[in-house]
Amino acid sequence: MKTMALTGTGGAASIGFTRSIRDSGKKIRVVGTDANLINLPFSEADVNYIIPRANEPDYLEKLNGIIDAEGAEFIHAQPDPEVNFISKNRDKIKAKTLLPSHDAVEICQNKFKSYEAWSKAGIVLPKTIFINSEDDLKKAFTEIQTPFWIRAVKGAGGRGSFIVKEYEQAKVWIDHWKGWGNFVASELLPGRLLTWQSLWYEGELVCAQGRERLSWGLAQTAITGVTGMTGVARNVSIPELDEISEKAIHAAEKQKPHGIYGVDLKCNTDGVPCPTEINIGRFFTTIHFFTKAGLNMPSMLLDLAEGNVPSLPKKLNPIEGEFFWIRTVDAKPAFLTREQLRQTSKNDVDVDKILQPDSSVKYFSST
């Protein structure tokens, strides 16, 4: 492969993807597209194009025009709307794709459809109710312990999420978002935030790696403390996380798993990881973290796109040792061991205490 196309090229996830390709040593020309001109200065692709949004009528024509003009052999999308469009129209795209089934994309990009699939599979989950009407919201306050989450069934970055304790508060929030028929109420879980990034090829697991989110970036700017931007993360290896994540993927994907599946989980009061969503067809924003730790999944994706299946000595959690990934704005992420973080301060600090998971959330009461 000489040239590939990458959508959402100026966003953090695509930047991490591009850096991973550079780190791999592959001599691949990256053609970037983005619907937002303001994002393009941040792109690290070789050439960039402004493109319509995926819901605009000329998106396919413009995308294929860029693919033809640049000779792109493969396309990878990071924004969810483009993942969905390219998945649905994969036979019309003039470049190779490597995607899960479209049925699975539709399920995983809808938090309530995911919940229903997992529930049928007997997976332990936070109590969740679809909010189609005020009666449903009243039912949620009867059946779910307060405070609880309300959030949009579609969208990334915690879209529409709010933690509520009172009915009127929840109603005003859903009214504001015009969210009736598009929101869920869900039990607020107190435990660890875990993720499981995985690559599959024709039904076989190629590799998977666990990660723990220790804090949200810029948490002080969000009404709930949840921004969708990881602040501090570390790699983990937890057999129960592996088992539950695989089960969640197979429950949502009725065909052979193929491509990228990233499971988000939150632990309940018993410490059991409960799936909350699957980021399908795309990588987590922090994918360059794994690359720096020795597991280059974007590079492996390009191998798979050419039919070359990497053979790893260890498929589950192959990263050896413990590493941390620390992010903020206007700076490249820091990749450190625990000891290296300790050494950044001249005076003594309790690094172990600082690196404890921050599971705190905020909710607001009128009383």
Cα separations in angstroms, 366 against 65, 134, 165, 166, 363: 54, 20, 9, 8, 10
Q: What angle do CA 327, 6, 324 make, to 5 degrees?
A: 20
Nearest one of 93, 114, 92 to 104, comparing CA atoms: 114
The reported pLDDT for the residue numbered 229 is: 82
The reported pLDDT for the residue numbered 358 is: 67
Q: Could you tell me the pTM of the whole model?
A: 0.93
pLDDT single digits (tens) 248-298: 999 999 999 999 999 999 999 999 999 999 999 999 999 999 999 999 999
Out of 3.40.50.20, 3.40.50.10490, 3.40.50.880, 3.10.129.10, select the CATH number for domain 3-97.
3.40.50.20
Domain range list for the chain: 3-97, 127-187, 193-354
The reported pLDDT for the residue numbered 343 is: 94
Tell whether the model's pLDDT for residue 106 goes beyond 60: yes
- Count Cα neighbours of 286 within 13 Å in the Cβ-side half-sphere: 31
Out of 3.90.1070.10, 3.40.190.10, 3.10.450.200, 3.30.1490.20, select the CATH number for domain 127-187.
3.30.1490.20
Contact 105, 83 (CB under 8 A): yes
Cα separations in angstroms, 97 against 47, 66, 100: 20, 15, 10
Give me Rg for the CA atoms of the chain: 21
Which residues in 90-99 are b (16+ Cβ under 10 Å) and which e? eeebebbbbb
Tell whether the model's pLDDT for residue 217 goes beyond 90: no
Tell whether the model's pLDDT for residue 333 goes beyond 60: yes
Tell whether the model's pLDDT for residue 330 goes beyond 80: yes
Tell whether the model's pLDDT for residue 307 goes beyond 60: yes
Tell whether the model's pLDDT for residue 20 goes beyond 50: yes
pLDDT single digits (tens) 223-260: 777 777 889 999 999 999 999 999 999 999 999 999 99
Out of 3.40.50.970, 1.10.1200.10, 3.40.1160.10, 3.30.470.20, select the CATH number for domain 193-354.
3.30.470.20
Q: Which residue is associated with the tokens 């989110």?
A: 213
Q: What tokens does 113 get? A: 């459809």
Name the burial class of residue 332, with classes exposed (0-12), middle (13-18) and buried (19+) by CB atoms within 10 angstroms of its CB: exposed
